Amino acid sequence: MPPPPTTVAAGCGRGVDECDMFSGRWVYDEEAYALYKESACRFMSENLACGRYGRTDLRYQHWRWQPHGCDLPRYVRAIPTHVVVAHSEVKLLEKLRGKRLAFVGDSLNRNQWVSMVCLIDSATQGLHKTLISAGTLVSFNVHEHNASVDFYWSPLLVESNSDHPVRHRVTDRTMGASCGNLHARHWTYADVLVFNSYLWWRRPSIEVRWGSFEAPAAKEDEYCGVTKAVDGVRTFELALATWADWLEFHVGRARTRLFFMTMSPTHLPSDEWADDAGGGTSHGCYNETEPIAAAEEGGRYQRGVTDPAFARAVEEQARRGVTDPAFAHAVEEQARRLVNVTAMSERRKDAHPSVHRRQWEPITDAQARDASSYADCSHRCLPGVPDVWNQLLYAHIVS
Helical pair 385-398 and 107-123, crossing angle rounded to 10 deg? 70
Residue 365 falls within a domain, yes or no? yes
Residue 77 falls within a domain, yes or no? yes
Query: Where do runs of H (alpha helix) occur along the chain?
Result: 91-95, 107-123, 232-250, 308-322, 331-337, 342-346, 365-369, 385-398
Residue 176 falls within a domain, yes or no? no
Residue 237 falls within a domain, yes or no? yes
- Does residue 46 carry a pLDDT above 50? yes
Domain, as residue range, for 308? 8-161+183-200+232-398
Considering only residues 5 and 112, tell me which one the structure prediction assigns the higher pLDDT.
112
- Cis omega before residue 353 (within 30°)? no
pLDDT for 113 equals 98
- Does residue 380 carry a pLDDT above 80? yes
pLDDT for 17 equals 58
The count of domains in the chain is 1
Residue 89 belongs to domain with CATH number? 3.40.50.1110
Active site residue 20: no
- Does residue 259 carry a pLDDT above 60? yes
Q: In whole angstroms, what is the distance from residue 209 CA to residue 213 CA?
A: 8
Exactly one of 183, 186, 283, 379 is catalytic; which is it?
379
pLDDT for 82 equals 41
- CA–CA distance from 140 to each of 100, 220, 336, 391 (Å)? 10, 45, 26, 19
% of the chain beyond a pLDDT of 90 = 38
pLDDT averaged over every residue in the chain: 80
pLDDT for 324 equals 67
How would residue 232 be classed by pLDDT, with cut points 50, 70 and 90?
A: confident
Say which range, 3-7, 214-218, 364-368, has the weakest mean pLDDT: 3-7
Rounded (5°) CA angle 351-338-18: 100
Residue 175 falls within a domain, yes or no? no
- Does residue 288 carry a pLDDT above 60? yes
pLDDT for 335 equals 54
* Amino acid, single-letter form, for residue 324: D
- pTM recorded for the entire structure: 0.86
Active site residue 376: yes
Residue 385 falls within a domain, yes or no? yes
Considering only residues 228 and 353, tell me which one the structure prediction assigns the higher pLDDT.
353
Residue 364 falls within a domain, yes or no? yes
Q: Around 369, how many Cα atoms within 13 Å sit in the side-chain half-sphere? A: 3
Exactly one of 45, 107, 154, 264 is catalytic; which is it?
107
Residue 151 falls within a domain, yes or no? yes
Active site residue 107: yes
Exactly one of 29, 150, 376, 387 is catalytic; which is it?
376
Mean pLDDT of 143-169: 91
